[in-house]
Amino acid sequence: MPIGTIKDLGAEGKTVLLRLDLNSPIDPTSNLILDDKRFREHLPTIRALESSRVVIITHQSRPGKKDFTTLEAHAEKLEQLLGKPVTYVDSIFGRHARETVNAMKIGEVVMLENVRFNAEENLTLKPEEAKKIHLIRKLSSMGDVFVNDAFGTAHRSQPTVVGLPLAMRSAGGLLMEKEVSTLSKVFSGAPRPVCMVLGGTKVDDSIDVARHVLDNGIADQVIVIGVVANVFLIAAGYNIGKPSAQLIAHLKYQPEIEKAKEILSRHRDRVVMPESVAVRQDNRRVEYAVGKIPEDAPVLDLGMDALASMVQDLKKAGTVVFNGPAGVFEDADFATGTFELLRAAAKVEFSVVGGGHTAAVIEKLGIENEFTHISTGGGACIEFLTGKKLPAVDALEQSKKIFG
């Protein structure tokens, strides 16, 4: 069942509680926001609600982290990008917050304090439980309807994300809608062949995605790069050298090797592993075939042979879903694999990128406009691709059933 949309909501003249994900990299000393990408992604939704009173609920970081801070800088940044005042309130649902919201006029925007300052928001709860807690009862009494545009937080079962939709009439914002419809297209209706490129260090998630898309015929081919590739190479019987094997142990990903073996036993012909790699030796880039990786050198990128062959695979694809880099792209000597695969992926008919580090690299390369879709939520995007229902999306679907 689809989620409700802003068009269905009839929010004109109403007070809208709007959940955003403005969690951004921050300089802890100056409190300056270093990257405003998430702010820019939410602007269309805020503008679509200009005939309502908009009360923004959002968060920055989480308890115990250095960048867990107030949202004063976020309100200023949003005001600058939106081109109209955004009133920051240093309270979530206290008297000051309630009085400010009650005094709002149509078209005004208020940002409440970091919702994770309230301990209840950091709980993982089922929607029915979340609906009953103090935080949700207080917040839902401050607005008429709820709009969730926080796709980056959609994989978390946190109260504002799953509780508010059960407490009031709700819809997904424009970004949420775009993310869900584009990522759903990967499962049905994407131009074939569908090729998934899975890399980076989140091995467990990537293996879940690989298994789901191969077992269900969603992907025609899975290309593995980065640490994900190293796990598959071990599973295929290769020695990848001590440093890379130790990294897998350090990240506690040894159990994933068995899962990779299982995937290879069923889909060996559809999993593409690197046939050559680049390592650091004597402080420079040296390349080896995968059967000849030195015992003491860390694998830091794809070798040129492997890269050339993978680029050819991407050229034949109709759809590419790209998640995670091919190596230590921060080091210019080992960035080639990541950069060139992304340039090739950008040229296919339907190209989707799963947020996080990969999105940052694309911006650095200046090719963000060449991709069909760059997801704003790394974790949420990956979880969606494993075929699991995201808690936030599920809650919005339930809300549509309850409130119509």
Give the C-alpha separation, 155 to 350, whole Å: 24
Please name the residue that has the structure tokens 């042979």.
Answer: 305
On the question of a cis peptide bond just before residue 391, with omega within 30 degrees of 0, the verdict is: no
Under 8 Å between Cβ of 46 and 18:
yes
pLDDT, average across residues 206-226: 96
The pLDDT, as a whole number, for residue 1 is 63
Phi, psi of 324 (to 5 degrees): 100, 145
**355: helix, strand or coil:** coil
Is residue 377 over pLDDT 90? no
Which of 248-257, 268-277, 343-352, 373-382 is the least confident region?
A: 373-382
Q: Write out pLDDT tens, residues 122-177.
A: 999 999 999 999 999 999 999 999 999 999 999 999 999 999 999 999 999 999 99
Beta bridge partners of 302: 277
Under 8 Å between Cβ of 213 and 222:
yes
Burial of 250 (0-12, 13-18, 19+ CB in 10 A): exposed
**The pair of three-digit structure tokens given for residue 17, joined into one six-digit string:** 């509680």
Q: Write out pLDDT tens, residues 58-87.
A: 999 999 999 999 999 999 999 999 999 999
Burial of 239 (0-12, 13-18, 19+ CB in 10 A): middle
The pLDDT, as a whole number, for residue 364 is 86
pTM (predicted TM-score): 0.90
Q: State the chain's mean pLDDT as an integer.
A: 95
Helix, strand and coil percent figures for the chain, each rounded to 5: 50, 15, 35
* Residue % of the chain over a pLDDT of 90: 91
- pLDDT grade, residue 2 (50/70/90)? confident
Rounded to whole angstroms, what are the CA distances from 190 to 32, 180, 193, 207? 40, 14, 9, 21
End-to-end Cα, the chain, rounded Å? 12
Short-list 127, 123, 170, 179, CA closest to 151: 179
Residues 6+ apart with CB under 8 A from 284: 333
Q: Write out pLDDT tens, residues 330-350.
A: 999 999 999 999 999 999 999
Instruction: Report residue 323 CA to chain centroid gap.
Output: 10
**390: helix, strand or coil:** coil
Output DSSP code: residue 83: T
Short-list 261, 264, 296, 292, CA closest to 277: 292
Is residue 356 over pLDDT 80? no
Q: Tell me the pairing of strands 276-281 and 299-302.
A: antiparallel
Short-list 189, 171, 142, 161, CA closest to 2: 171
Under 8 Å between Cβ of 207 and 256:
yes
Q: Tell me the pairing of strands 284-289 and 194-198.
A: unpaired
**The pair of three-digit structure tokens given for residue 372, joined into one six-digit string:** 């069909």
Q: Write out pLDDT tens, residues 291-310.
A: 999 999 999 999 999 999 99
User: Which H or E run includes 285?
Assistant: strand 284-289
Burial of 13 (0-12, 13-18, 19+ CB in 10 A): exposed
Q: Tell me the pairing of strands 284-289 and 276-281.
A: antiparallel
Give the C-alpha separation, 48 to 91, whole Å: 26
What are the strands, taking DSSP E only, across 86-219?
Answer: 86-88, 109-111, 145-148, 170-172, 194-198
In the chain, the domains with their CATH numbers are 6-174+390-403 (3.40.50.1260), 192-348 (3.40.50.1260)
